[in-house]
DNA sequence: CTACGGGGAGAACGACCGTTCTCACATCCG
DNA sequence: CGGATGTGAGAACGGTCGTTCTCCCCGTAG
């Protein structure tokens, strides 16, 4: 067995961490599960991430980049700036329909460890602020009033929670309809 | 030390369970913490709730009754049926401002144990459906179209999540403003 | 060829936690 | 009075988990 170079070991670890942490919750996954899921030895795991919390941090950071990247890629396919705001909810719908969807990783992580782990609490806050900022940018570019941004953000958060807990994708369409009313209430 | 009668033992246990589970998360609280917080011996604890999951279940059930009771009591102080719908967000605001507020217990519990415990997943679902039903009743009694109900519900859920993670009560006012626009978009 | 340094597999350790057991004592009923 | 019952305090047990250690193999440099 050829020794694994650090980069691919890191990738495999984060892949396994993301699968397992997201599907089962962070506390329900042991380091040994990560080892089994990644094929990377425990020794190497601990040499790359000296404690579980650091693996969790890396997992959430990588997922944040990817999640916001996928959202932005989807939204940018839409031309009309006002439609872009609404496209956020179309993206949520496709996300909710993905097999294995279990709600928002940061909402879940915050519920699990927000009171215990400063790192998780901070990453959840940062992720939500970044998402809220992104929405605010879309609203601004659509020439809509700034007060609309947090409203759209709250609709999106509510849709994530409801879809995660109730196990249905209906909240995407419902939030979309609500956002449509909000946006068009400011139509020229 | 006079032996405690079962009812007050149960009450003390649930009081301690609610304080601790809500503040720290369910998995972060041990049975011994419950014993210490309640003053009820471990033996009695296990005779009343033979497993931790049953104590968790009782905690969530009692909190559900109380939470929806407090909401209803607040909303019923408002006379105008249309204002009642918006009063939900005023109630959220006062809740968010309570010391020790840490988000919605069911959202947090679902994030923590939804993937692991069927009981917690079911109670979270039931609680959210009950809240959505309550909102739907308010919307119906205000003579507003049914489609508005899930939109108001999602705004409320989003406000809870955002307030819990970001640690501010601003989402209550923001969601209130959004709901106001939605409601008045159907004004006669 | 050989000494060595890194890596893999997995045992081992120490702490924690849900649950049960021990034991001494108080209480109640004959 | 005396024995059965139930209770509290806390020790004990069994399992899990994060983390570290042991041991052995291999590739390589001198």
pLDDT tens, A120-161?
999 999 999 999 999 999 999 999 999 999 999 999 999 999
Instruction: State residue B1's pLDDT score.
Output: 46
**Mean local confidence (pLDDT), B100-122:** 97
Distance, CA of A46 to CA of B101 (rounded, Å)? 36
Instruction: State residue B7's pLDDT score.
Output: 80
Judging contacts by C-beta atoms under 8 Å, the chain B residues touching residue A167 are 125
DSSP string, B121-158: HHHHHHHHHHHHHHHHHHHHHTT--TTHHHHHHHHHHH
More confident residue, B2 or B149: B149
Instruction: State residue B38's pLDDT score.
Output: 93
Report the distance from CA of residue B3 to the C1' of nucleotide C23 in Å, as an integer: 18
Instruction: Tell whether ipTM is more than 0.85.
Output: yes
The distance of Cα A22 from the centroid of its chain, to the nearest Å, equals 10
Q: Phi, psi at residue A67, to the nearest 5°? A: -65, -50
Q: Phi, psi at residue B30, to the nearest 5°? A: -90, 160
Nearest C-alpha in B relative to A146:
B174
What domains, with CATH codes, occur in chain A?
1-50 (1.10.10), 62-184 (1.10.357.10)
Instruction: State residue B5's pLDDT score.
Output: 77
Distance, CA of B76 to CA of B23 (rounded, Å)? 29
- Partner-chain contact A25 B174, CB within 8 Å: no
Torsion of CA B76, B79, B82, B87, to 10 degrees: -40
- Partner-chain contact A109 B109, CB within 8 Å: no
* Signed CA dihedral, B83, B86, B88, B90: sign only: negative
- Of the candidates A23, A91, A72, A13, the residue with the CA atom closest to the CA atom of residue A48: A13
């Amino acid at each position: 067995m050829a020794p694994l170079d650090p980069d691919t070991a890191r990738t495999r670890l984060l892949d396994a961490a993301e699968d397992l942490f997201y599907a089962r919750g962070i506390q329900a996954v042991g380091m040994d599960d990560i080892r089994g899921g990644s094929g990377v030895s425990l020794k190497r795991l601990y040499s790359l991430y000296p404690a579980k919390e650091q693996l969790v941090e890396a997992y959430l950071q990588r997922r944040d980049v990817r999640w916001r990247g996928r959202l932005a890629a989807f939204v940018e396919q839409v031309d009309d700036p006002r439609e872009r705001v609404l496209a956020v909810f179309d993206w949520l719908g496709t996300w909710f329909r993905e097999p294995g969807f279990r709600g928002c990783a940061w909402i879940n992580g915050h519920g699990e460890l927000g009171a215990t782990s400063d790192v998780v609490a901070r990453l959840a806050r940062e992720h939500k602020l970044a998402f809220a900022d992104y929405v605010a940018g879309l609203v601004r570019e659509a020439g809509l009033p700034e007060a609309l941004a947090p409203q759209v953000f709250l609709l999106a958060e509510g849709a994530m929670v409801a879809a995660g807990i109730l196990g249905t994708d209906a909240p995407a369409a419902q939030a979309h309809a609500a956002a449509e009313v909000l946006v068009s209430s400011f139509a020229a």
